[in-house]
A and B are shown apart, each in its own frame.
Chain A
């Protein structure tokens, strides 16, 4: 991979990547302003919420000072954003521990779950899409496409409930929820994440296999494929050698988008399986009005989504030589 990148490296590529990187940072800054502003207009003083209604005015005032709530808005924004850069997310109003501690405890559940789901969906969708495209118009193609229509229509959290019913309640093969922690070994942890990951992956796999199929069919209609066929390459060889690589661009785009949705989706799925991830944290924080936790989790997820989009853009330049030349 590295040698491939170095061999194909051009200055135009570097300019393109630098520009994309600058935009990503700008996007993140604007997003952070949005999040900060949205949570800034909330009525009610966090210090009063933390101390309860019986607190004295002096105690509230002292805590406000301690939390930095007495500072002007722009100074608080600056404190928040500069804190983010060094991993200091502030102190949770309700847990009274650093938010970074809470978040890092939970992200080791949510992030692996989203990755596992993406892996599963890709492992299923690429071969299925490829197979359907190869058998275009046949019985198998029609059947697969009909099944994917169902896959797209099934809400992942409902599918999750059905999985719990079948595998946990009925067959009793896996626990219906909870997470033993990574300290208990890789297998028990992965086992706890397996059903949630399957539930998350199903609708994504359905979408991805449709995209793979149509992208392949589209490239198979291109002139250079006809040329390849004309020079005597078999249909199979053209599909593998020429069409697949060119079809990868839309597929990568959708995969990038999907990761964003998978990450957001984990928040819902974690509720089905009682997983101690970011989702549970954020919902508890909402009901406790622990806004600094909400703020931090949202910016973290939004930042990850922006980062993934950036990586997708960079991946384009690697896959598509035209992008390398044109964007100079």
Chain B
């Protein structure tokens, strides 16, 4: 694992990796164990409590343990953001590579199509999907996934165009390899570093977007705990129970921070030349 040895010398990577591993572990553990039952409502016996030794992060107005809900909510955030990245990579990269290898009209048409999709922030797609099919976590995944497609299509098109001009690709062409085969065997492996970095950033952005959609009621529906939904429920109790809003918010910030640091670290480690760049930035 010489890669990991080099990578762990990078401070961003190490901190980001540790935070991300912690969040993933927390989500994984929640499948087998949580401190208390995630939906155990004990309004009378427990009620609303501030963080204490018994309830590390406190409880909500229904007496539900916040730590347990944060752990299970991590599952939701990770799942939605991950599937959305897979949609973006799975559709965006082939489209971008196709546009780059064909050029001309195909390229123009695909990129103009990209512009159309790009005009729909994830939130607007989610608004439309929800108006059509009703709310749910799947809508959030589709909306964020659609938003990711042009991001990855543009990135891979740009990278592929640059690669097609390189000598080793010309050699492959001279050897008689077909364009799809060159794309799979040479182009995609050579841009994988760039894709990994962008995927990490899209993952982080996806977590914020999911939380936003859940907050306005377009994402994961209760009773399944989601960080965004928890913030929504906390809003009316801000005055006397600020911990209800602070805890899920911090969970989001820490997770996103970890992923962003991981992305920055990966970029520095995988491609020192790009050290001062961020491939694409944006916010929902």
Residues of the B chain whose Cβ atoms lie less than 8 Å from the Cβ of A207: 281-283
Asked if B257 lies at the interface with its beta carbon under 8 angstroms from chain A, I say: yes
A161, B231: Cβ atoms under 8 Å?
Answer: yes
Asked if B127 lies at the interface with its beta carbon under 8 angstroms from chain A, I say: yes
Asked if B28 lies at the interface with its beta carbon under 8 angstroms from chain A, I say: no
Residues of the B chain whose Cβ atoms lie less than 8 Å from the Cβ of A211: 278, 281
Bound CA span A27–B127, Å: 20
A294, B253: Cβ atoms under 8 Å?
Answer: no
Bound CA span A153–B119, Å: 23
Bound CA span A26–B245, Å: 44
Against B, the Cβ 8 Å flags (1 = close, 0 = not) of A276-294 are: 0001001101100101001
A149, B257: Cβ atoms under 8 Å?
Answer: yes
Against B, the Cβ 8 Å flags (1 = close, 0 = not) of A155-166 are: 111100110110
Asked if A196 lies at the interface with its beta carbon under 8 angstroms from chain B, I say: no
> How many A residues touch the partner, as a band?
35 or more
Against A, the Cβ 8 Å flags (1 = close, 0 = not) of B213-255 are: 0011100000000000001001100110010011011001110
Residues of the B chain whose Cβ atoms lie less than 8 Å from the Cβ of A305: 119, 121
Q: Which one, B115, B120, B212, contacts A157 given CB within 8 A?
A: B212
A164, B238: Cβ atoms under 8 Å?
Answer: yes
Asked if B124 lies at the interface with its beta carbon under 8 angstroms from chain A, I say: yes
Beta-carbon contacts under 8 Å, A215-258 to B = 217-218, 254, 257-258
Bound CA span A264–B182, Å: 40
B124, A218: Cβ atoms under 8 Å?
Answer: no
Residues of the B chain whose Cβ atoms lie less than 8 Å from the Cβ of A210: 278, 281
Q: Which one, A153, A157, A309, contacts B257 given CB within 8 A?
A: A153
Residues of the A chain whose Cβ atoms lie less than 8 Å from the Cβ of B281: 152, 207, 210-211, 254
Against A, the Cβ 8 Å flags (1 = close, 0 = not) of B118-141 are: 011111100111111000000000
Asked if B82 lies at the interface with its beta carbon under 8 angstroms from chain A, I say: no
Asked if A99 lies at the interface with its beta carbon under 8 angstroms from chain B, I say: no
Given contacts A153-B204, A161-B235, contact A26 B112 (CB under 8 A): yes
A105 to chain B minimum Cβ distance, whole angstroms, is: 19
A169, B238: Cβ atoms under 8 Å?
Answer: yes
A251 to chain B minimum Cβ distance, whole angstroms, is: 12
Asked if A267 lies at the interface with its beta carbon under 8 angstroms from chain B, I say: yes
Asked if A17 lies at the interface with its beta carbon under 8 angstroms from chain B, I say: no
Nearest chain-A residue to B254 (Cβ)?
A: A153
Bound CA span A305–B248, Å: 31
Asked if A84 lies at the interface with its beta carbon under 8 angstroms from chain B, I say: no
A157, B131: Cβ atoms under 8 Å?
Answer: no
A267, B216: Cβ atoms under 8 Å?
Answer: yes
A27, B212: Cβ atoms under 8 Å?
Answer: no
Asked if B99 lies at the interface with its beta carbon under 8 angstroms from chain A, I say: no
Residues of the A chain whose Cβ atoms lie less than 8 Å from the Cβ of B89: none
A155, B238: Cβ atoms under 8 Å?
Answer: no
Asked if B260 lies at the interface with its beta carbon under 8 angstroms from chain A, I say: yes
Given contacts A149-B257, A153-B204, contact A41 B283 (CB under 8 A): no
Stretch among A32-40, A57-65, A314-322 lining the B interface? A32-40
Bound CA span A298–B125, Å: 9
Given contacts A158-B245, A204-B283, contact A39 B119 (CB under 8 A): no
Asked if A55 lies at the interface with its beta carbon under 8 angstroms from chain B, I say: no
Q: Which one, B231, B239, B246, B248, contacts A169 given CB within 8 A?
A: B239
B238, A27: Cβ atoms under 8 Å?
Answer: no
Q: Which one, B124, B245, B278, contacts A301 given CB within 8 A?
A: B124
Asked if A67 lies at the interface with its beta carbon under 8 angstroms from chain B, I say: no
Beta-carbon contacts under 8 Å, A135-174 to B = 149-150, 152-158, 161-162, 164-165, 169
Beta-carbon contacts under 8 Å, A259-273 to B = 260-261, 264-265, 267-268, 271-272
A27, B119: Cβ atoms under 8 Å?
Answer: yes
Return 17 A-B CB contacts under 8 Å, by A number. Answer: A149-B260, A152-B281, A152-B283, A153-B252, A154-B253, A155-B208, A155-B212, A158-B249, A162-B245, A165-B238, A214-B277, A258-B283, A267-B216, A271-B216, A294-B127, A297-B127, A305-B121
Those 9 A-B pairs whose CB atoms lie nearest each other, nearest first: A158-B249, A264-B121, A153-B256, A153-B257, A264-B123, A294-B131, A153-B253, A305-B119, A30-B116
